[in-house]
Amino acid sequence: MPKERIVFQFAAYRIMSSRRHALRVAVQTAVATLAVHLLMRPLAPDLESWAVIAALFTIGTSVDATLGAGISRIAGTVLGAGLGLAVTGLLGGSSLPALLLAAVLSNSLAAIWPGLTYAAVMAAIVALDPSPDGRSALALSGAVVLGTIFGTAASFLVWPEFGRNRAVLSLREAMDDCREFLGLIHKGVTTDDRRNRYFLHQRFRGHLFALYDRIAETHFTPQVRSGAGLREAADAVEALWYALVILDRGVISGRARLPDSTVERVRPVLAAVQTEACRLLESASIAAGPGRATPTDPTELKRVLAEARELTLAAAAEGRDIAPAQEQALQALSFALDEMERSLMALMRVIEPECEAPDKVRAA
């Protein structure tokens, strides 16, 4: 299948998976716009558009993002208006030098603190205000602040969604990708499936980038249910993905270099590894979300991984005349299994630390 079609499928997947988020933002936008219209129409109809625009640009992807944008916009508006008034007062009114000085100072501050970009807009508007006392510019600043407050209130009061919940959703999606990757790895023992691998890699990258972006915007309880930080959980699932990539390369290399008899011996053992690893990942996905999963015992996973390693080492030691390429493939597979176990258990310790001692948790 052409790469362009795969990219199109990935874009369609992202659109379909974001429908709920788009609907939530649409509802918040409608409420904020209606509230601004009802207030500004009788009070200051000529400034209504500025208040509506401010509300639209304030509503973010989550309550956390909206609050950050709202605080930055209000601070930028107040700073820009004050700077514009100070410059016009210093230079004797609206003029080109006043505009240049206000624009340079406000944009320089915005370069240091990007959240204050609105200061440059307001400073320029105030510097261009022909009224001697700047009343129209101050009224405009008030409309922007009012619209920002309404946008922030709509995000908090109408279908609120906190950044932590959105980050956890991306985390669970990334873990689901790992489960699907395990299925492709087992399938790779006998067949190659480059199309699905490429699509899955692209999807995981999208989920991982979204995860880190959502963590960056999270201000309220940036933790998973276990108490570990969201950043720590994201790093753990990313490390697991790289370990699975190593395992995938090891399986593909083994299929190409090892005799069919050895491949057939490895296949059921890898199937058992896939089943147990997917079981742990499913439990971790539930534990990371709002529900509470039953503590998972990793003993069986460790057993099948040990069996798989023993099989690869035994196959390497069966004949002294084994080809170097075959021995290298078996060693790579054993190393990949070690990395997968280490990374998966590290993830479980972050998401579901009680999995190390499920009997104690059940007894409690």
| Alpha-carbon separation of residue 49 from 120, 144, 148 (angstroms) | 19, 9, 12
Answer yes or no: are the C-beta atoms of 225 and 234 closer than 8 Å: no
Answer yes or no: are the C-beta atoms of 125 and 84 closer than 8 Å: yes
Answer yes or no: are the C-beta atoms of 78 and 145 closer than 8 Å: yes
Cβ atoms < 10 Å from Cβ of 348: 24
pLDDT in tens, the chain (364 residues): 455 555 565 456 566 657 888 899 999 999 999 999 999 999 999 999 999 999 999 999 899 999 999 999 999 999 999 998 899 888 888 888 999 999 999 999 989 988 888 888 889 888 888 775 677 888 999 999 999 999 999 999 999 999 999 999 999 999 999 999 999 998 887 677 788 888 899 999 999 999 999 999 999 989 998 889 999 999 999 999 999 999 999 998 888 888 888 888 888 999 999 999 999 999 898 888 766 666 788 999 999 999 998 888 887 776 555 677 888 888 889 999 999 999 999 999 999 887 664 444 334 3
Distance of alpha carbon 162 from alpha carbon 290, whole angstroms: 13
Query: Which pLDDT tens digit goes with each residue over 38-89?
Result: 999 999 999 999 999 999 999 998 999 999 999 999 999 999 999 988 998 8
| Alpha-carbon separation of residue 11 from 8, 18, 26, 61, 342 (angstroms) | 5, 11, 20, 19, 33
Angle in degrees, CA 123, 148, 155, rounded to 5: 150
Query: Which pLDDT tens digit goes with each residue over 259-291?
Result: 888 888 888 999 999 999 999 999 898 888 766
| 209 burial level (CB within 10 Å; 0-12, 13-18, 19+) | exposed
Q: How many residues are present in the chain?
A: 364
| 118 burial level (CB within 10 Å; 0-12, 13-18, 19+) | buried
Percentages of the chain per state (helix, strand, coil), in multiples of 5? 80, 0, 15
Q: Coil, strand or helix: which one is 64?
A: helix
Q: At residue 298, what are phi and psi to the nearest 5 degrees?
A: -85, 5
Amino acid at 3: K
Q: Coil, strand or helix: which one is 209?
A: helix
Angle in degrees, CA 343, 345, 351, rounded to 5: 105
